[in-house]
C-alpha cells in the first residue's frame, strides 16, 4: 500500500509511502490516506494523528501523470485537505513539501519539521494554480507578504526560516520529525480530549467560515488558469524537462 499506518498508543501515524515518486499523490494514495484519516476520526481510542512521508520526502504534491480521482467525499483533495476533523493532525516533515504536499501541511494543525524540510507553492513555475487552499491558507499560517512571496515566485521556504516565521512549531534534526511529532502528540494527549477537540473546533471552524469565499475565488482562478495557453505550455515544459516559453494568455 502506498499509505501505511502505525499506532503508538493513542497516536496514529500515517505515512505516504511512494518514495520513488517523491510521494506524489495519485488516486490510490488518496484512497489510502482517506482510509487512514477515517480511522483516526472514527476510532475513539485514537486522539491525535501524525502525517509524514517516507524516503526523506514529505510529498511533491499531485502526480501530474496520474492526477485523476485524487479527491474523496469525506476528505476532499488527497482525502485530507478539506476534511472536517475533530482530532488534531500534526505534519511531520522531512525534505520537500511542494505544491499539494505543502497544501497537505497547511491542512494540518501543527507542523514539526527537520532542518532538511522545505515548503513551496511552485505552481506558477508550471503555469498552473494551487487549487487546494495553498495561497489563502499560507496567508493564515505565515506573514502576508511571505505568503505572497511563496505564491508569486514559486520559490521554496526553508525549515529554519519557516520556524522563525511561525509556520513550524518544532524544528529538529534530520530523521527526527516523526519522533518529535509523537512527543508533541503526547503533550496533547496528556490533556482532556473533550477540551482539546472543542479548542480545535473553536479555531478551525472560525477559519473555515471565513475561508468560504476564498475557496470560491480559488475555484474561479483555477478555471481561468486551466483555460490558458500558459498552462498547456507549462505542463509540456515540465514533462519535456525544459524552460517554459510563456505567452501570457
For the chain, what percent of residues have pLDDT higher than 90? 80
State the burial class of residue 27 (Cβ atoms within 10 Å of its Cβ: 0-12, 13-18, 19+).
middle
DSSP run (H or E) holding 72: strand 71-72
Task: Reply yes or no on whether 103 is catalytic.
Answer: yes
The predicted structure's pLDDT at residue 40: 98
Selected catalytic residue, list 41, 94, 123, 180: 123
Whether 185 is in a domain gets the answer no
Whether 101 is in a domain gets the answer yes
Range(s) of the domain holding residue 72: 3-175
How far, in Å, CA of 113 to CA of 163, rounded? 8
Interval 228-242 mean pLDDT:
86
Whether 89 has a pLDDT exceeding 90, the answer reads yes
Interval 199-220 mean pLDDT:
90
Band the pLDDT of 150: cuts 50, 70, 90.
very high
Whether 203 is in a domain gets the answer no
107 contacts 65 by C-beta, under 8 angstroms: no
How many helices (H) does the chain have, and how many strands (E)? 9, 11
Question: Where does 96-225 show beta strands of DSSP type E?
Answer: 96-98, 110-114, 118-120, 157-158, 170-172
Band the pLDDT of 67: cuts 50, 70, 90.
low
Band the pLDDT of 31: cuts 50, 70, 90.
very high
Please state, in angstroms and as integers, the Cα–Cα distance from residue 112 to each residue in 50, 106, 140, 215, following that order. Answer: 10, 12, 17, 26
Whether 104 is in a domain gets the answer yes
Q: What is the mean pLDDT of the chain?
A: 94
Whether 195 is in a domain gets the answer no
State how many domains the chain has. Answer: 1
Task: Reply yes or no on whether 229 is catalytic.
Answer: no
Whether 97 is in a domain gets the answer yes
**DSSP per position, 133-162:** SHHHHHHHHS-HHHHHHHHHH---EEHHHH
Whether 89 is in a domain gets the answer yes
The shares of helix, strand and coil residues in the chain, as percent rounded to the nearest 5, are 45, 20, 35
Selected catalytic residue, list 103, 149, 160, 205: 103
The predicted structure's pLDDT at residue 249: 83
Q: Can you give the CATH number for the domain in which 75 is found?
A: 3.90.226.10
Whether 224 is in a domain gets the answer no
Interval 166-173 mean pLDDT:
98
The predicted structure's pLDDT at residue 69: 80
The string of pLDDT tens digits covering residues 127-145 is: 999 999 999 999 999 999 9
Band the pLDDT of 165: cuts 50, 70, 90.
very high
- What predicted TM-score, i.e. pTM, was given to this entire model? 0.94
Residue 76 φ/ψ, nearest 5 degrees: 70, -155
Amino acid at each position: 500500500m502506498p499509505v501505511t499506518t502505525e499506532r503508538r498508543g493513542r497516536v496514529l501515524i500515517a505515512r505516504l509511502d511512494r518514495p520513488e515518486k517523491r510521494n506524489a499523490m495519485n488516486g490510490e494514495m488518496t484512497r489510502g490516506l482517506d482510509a487512514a484519516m477515517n480511522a483516526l476520526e472514527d476510532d475513539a481510542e485514537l486522539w491525535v494523528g501524525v502525517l509524514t512521508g517516507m524516503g526523506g520526502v514529505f510529498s511533491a504534491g499531485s502526480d501530474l501523470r496520474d492526477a485523476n480521482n485524487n479527491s474523496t467525499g469525506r476528505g476532499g483533495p488527497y482525502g485530507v485537505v478539506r476534511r472536517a476533523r475533530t482530532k488534531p493532525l500534526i505534519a511531520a516533515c522531512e525534505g520537500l513539501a511542494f505544491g499539494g504536499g505543502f497544501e497537505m501541511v497547511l491542512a494540518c494543525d501543527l507542523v514539526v519539521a527537520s532542518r532538511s524540510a522545505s515548503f513551496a507553492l511552485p505552481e506558477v513555475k508550471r503555469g498552473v494554480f494551487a487549487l487546494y487552499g495553498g495561497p489563502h491558507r499560507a496567508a493564515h499560517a505565515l506573514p502576508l507578504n511571505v505568503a505572497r512571496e511563496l505564491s508569486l515566485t514559486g520559490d521554496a521556504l526553508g525549515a529554519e526560516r519557516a520556524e522563525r516565521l511561525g509556520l513550524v512549531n518544532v524544528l529538529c534534526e534530520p530523521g527526527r520529525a516523526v519522533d518529535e511529532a509523537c512527543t508533541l502528540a503526547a503533550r496533547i494527549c496528556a490533556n482532556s480530549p473533550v477540551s482539546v477537540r472543542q479548542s480545535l473546533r473553536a479555531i478551525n471552524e472560525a477559519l473555515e467560515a471565513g475561508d468560504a469565499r476564498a475557496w470560491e475565488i480559488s475555484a474561479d482562478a483555477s478555471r481561468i488558469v486551466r483555460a490558458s495557453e500558459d498552462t498547456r505550455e507549462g505542463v509540456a515544459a515540465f514533462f519535456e524537462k525544459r524552460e517554459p516559453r510563456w505567452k501570457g494568455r
